[in-house]
Structure 1
Amino acid sequence: MPKSKRDRPVTLSKTKKKGRGQKESQVNSIRGAIDSYSSVYVFSFENMRNLKFKEFREQLKSSSRFFLGSNKVMQIALGRSAADEIRPGIRKVSKLLHGNTCFSLVCPERRIFNAFGETDFSRTGSKATEKVELKEGPLTEFTHEMEPFLRKQGMPVRLNKGVVELVSNFVVCDEGKPLSPEASRILRLLGIKMATFRLHLIC
C-alpha cells in the first residue's frame, strides 16, 4: 500500500532556540552583578549534575552568586580585551572561561569547595573507575521479570526455576575504558556509582 502524503510525523518535543534576547539578558545580568560584588572566582567542574549544583548554589545564595552558561556570552559580558572590559583587569577572567568552567562572585571558603563532592551513576561515554565483573551463577539481586531486559543488555542470562542465572562470567566494564550505554544501565541496576561531581577552583 502506498504511503500517504498526509501521514507526517509531528515532533511533540520541539523547543525554542535561545535567541539574541536571552543572550543579551544574560550579559546584562552579569554586568549588573559585577557592580555589586568586589571579587570574582573561576572554577571548573567534572561530572556536572544539575540538581546537585542547584542544591550547592542554594546553600550559598546568601553570600555568592554563580554564573553557568555559554563561555562566549560570559566572556562578552566581562570583556575580552582592555578596550571592552567592564572592570580593570577582568579580561584575565574571560581568558580562563573555556571548557567546563563557571565563575562566582564572592566565593565561599576554599575548604567548602574542596570538601564538596557528590557521587552519582556514570553516564554513557564516561570512563570506568574500576573493573566490574559478574561471576557465573544466580543473580539474586534481579527479579525474574528483568531477565529479558538483561539479555537485551548483552548479558548471558537464563531463567532457572524462576531465578535469573548468569550462564558464564560477564565483564560489565573495564577500568579506564569508556562506558557503553548497556554498561551504564547495568551499573545503575547494580547500584554502583562511579561518577563524582566536583568543583575545582582555578583562580
Structure 2
Amino acid sequence: MPKSRRNKVVALTKTEKKGKDAKSILFEKVRKAADANTHCYVISVSNMRNSMLKAMRMGLKDADGTTFFFGNNKVTAKALGGPEREHEYKDGLRFVGQALKGDVGLCFSGMDVDQIRDSFSKYVVMDFARNGVVATHTVTLPAGPVMRRVEAAEIDTIDESLAPSYLSESKDEIMAFPNNMETQLRGLGMPTLLKGGVIVLMRDFTICTEGQQLTPAQAQLLKHFNLKMAKFNVRIIGHWTEAAGYENVDGAMDGGDEKAEDMEDDE
C-alpha cells in the first residue's frame, strides 16, 4: 500500500530531554563557581517571582559576579563532593550539600554575610499572593455596597485601624466594583447580589484568615480588592567559607552530623 501523502501534524512543543550532558554542564558550573568565589550561601526564596529572581541574578552578577543555582539539588550536591569527607570538593562543602533539601538553592559570591544580606534587601518586593501562600492578615469585608481600593496597596503598610477590611475611609482611595463583576465575585464565594446596579454584600464576609493557606479563589479576591500580601525575599539558610567551614544561619536545622541522602544520579 503506498505511503500516505497527507500532511502530518508535528508537535512544535516537543523538546529533547536534557540528559547527562546538561547534568555535566551544571556539575562543572558549580565547581567553577566554588573556585571563583570565597563565600557560598544556601538560600530560600519566599514567594518566588521569576521576574524578580532574574533581576536579582543580573544585578548581583554585574556587581560582584555572584552566581545562583536552583532546581537540581541532587546534581548540585554531588558537584560539591557528596556526603563523605574524603570526596568533598573543598573542606566543609559536604555540609552545604546536606543542606540542599527541599525548596532551596545555592548562591556563590565574593560578598560576606552582611554585604549579601544588604544586597538581598534591595530586591524585597510586595506582590499579590498566589494559591498556597499563608495569609499574613485576616481580611473581613462588611455587609453593604462592595468597595475596593483604587490603587494596589501593601497590606503590611496599611494602618491597622482600617482592619479588618483594610479599606480606606477616604472616598478618593476607594471605588465600587462595576456591576458586571457581580457574577464573578459570587462565583469566588462572596454572598453578593445586585441592587439598583450596585453590588451588595449580603453579610460580613471573610476573604482570608491569618495563618491559613490561600485558596485560588481567595488569592483572586485579594487581587480584585488590590491588597498585596506576598513578599518576595531571600533568606540565608547556611553559609560556607573555605577558611571557616559551614555554619547554619537563621535557625536552620543543623545538618553537620547528619548523613546526607544518596547523591547518585538516576540512570
Q: TM-score range by the shorter chain?
A: 0.7 to 0.9
Measured in 1, the distance between the counterparts of 2:188 and 2:54 equals 33
Per-residue CA deviations over 1:166-202 (Å, capped at 9, x if unaligned) read 1211111111111111111100111111111111122
Are 1:26 and 2:33 counterparts?
Answer: no
Residue pairs, 1:1-203, within 5 angstroms: 17-62=17-62, 63=64, 64-80=66-82, 81-108=84-111, 109=115, 110-114=117-121, 116-140=123-147, 141-201=176-236, 202-203=238-239
Per-residue CA deviations over 1:103-143 (Å, capped at 9, x if unaligned) read 22225413223454211111112211111111111124321
Q: Does structure 1 retain, via aligned residues, the 8 Å contact 2:142–2:203? A: yes
Measured in 1, the distance between the counterparts of 2:201 and 2:13 equals 39
Measured in 1, the distance between the counterparts of 2:34 and 2:143 equals 60
Q: Does structure 2 retain, via aligned residues, the 8 Å contact 1:65–1:105? A: yes
C-alpha distance 183-16 of structure 1, shift in aligned 2 (>3 A): farther
- % same residue: 37
Q: Does structure 2 retain, via aligned residues, the 8 Å contact 1:131–1:173? A: yes
C-alpha distance 49-124 of structure 1, shift in aligned 2 (>3 A): same
Aligned length: 194
Relative to the length of structure 1, the TM-score reads 0.84
Which SS does the other structure have where 2:189 is aligned? Answer: coil
Unaligned runs of 5+ residues in structure 1 are 1-10
Per-residue CA deviations over 1:7-44 (Å, capped at 9, x if unaligned) read xxxx9876655433322221122123323223322222
C-alpha distance 166-200 of structure 1, shift in aligned 2 (>3 A): same
Q: Does structure 2 retain, via aligned residues, the 8 Å contact 1:41–1:107? A: no
Measured in 1, the distance between the counterparts of 2:216 and 2:199 equals 21
Per the TM alignment, residue 151 of structure 1 is displaced from its structure 2 partner at its CA by 1.2
Measured in 2, the distance between the counterparts of 1:166 and 1:16 equals 52
Amino acid at match of 1:28: E
**Which deviates the most, 17-26 or 78-87?**
17-26
